[in-house]
Amino acid sequence: STYFQEHLRASLAAWSIPSHILALPVHPKHHHLMATQIIPLLAPRTLDLTVHLRAHRFNVTPVTWPVVPKGKDRIRVCLHASNTRAEIDALVNACIAWAAGIVQDERTGLEADETRIEGRVSGMGPDGRNLLGSKL
């Protein structure tokens, strides 16, 4: 889980993804990553991200109100000892592809709709670069 969290956090920074689009929680007292196999991805557009990740064959679970307070929606990611680094890299790349699409939508003032969601499922970054690589 540490590899996933460190890789995702570095990728979010490298792509300048704002925390209001996608973020990992940090320990409230120590300001570091939480060591856990069940990792929440904080994303207000939880269902959009769930559709995107499931389209790439990642089994993730949306957690929305009333399970969590309104506005605190998240995706639950469960990692297992059998997950390879390549699988984790693919998950990080899928998350970044989705988030980069949201950033692009915000820059152009567009709201999410089915067409852009389907386009985002392709895994292309805003610069046309393939973020997903090969399927596992």
For the chain, give every domain's residue range: 2-121
Q: Which residues are registered as beta bridge partners of 38?
A: 78
How far is Cα 43 from Cα 104, in angstroms, rounded to an integer? 16
Q: What is the pLDDT of residue 27?
A: 62
Q: What is the pLDDT of residue 132?
A: 47
Q: What is the pLDDT of residue 36?
A: 67
Mean per-residue pLDDT, 94-111: 88
Given a cut of 80, whether residue 81 has pLDDT beyond it is yes
Fold of 2-121: Aspartate Aminotransferase, domain 1 (3.90.1150)
Helix axes 46-55, 85-108, angle to 10 degrees: 130
Amino acid type, 34: M
What does pLDDT average to over the chain?
80
Mean per-residue pLDDT, 81-98: 94
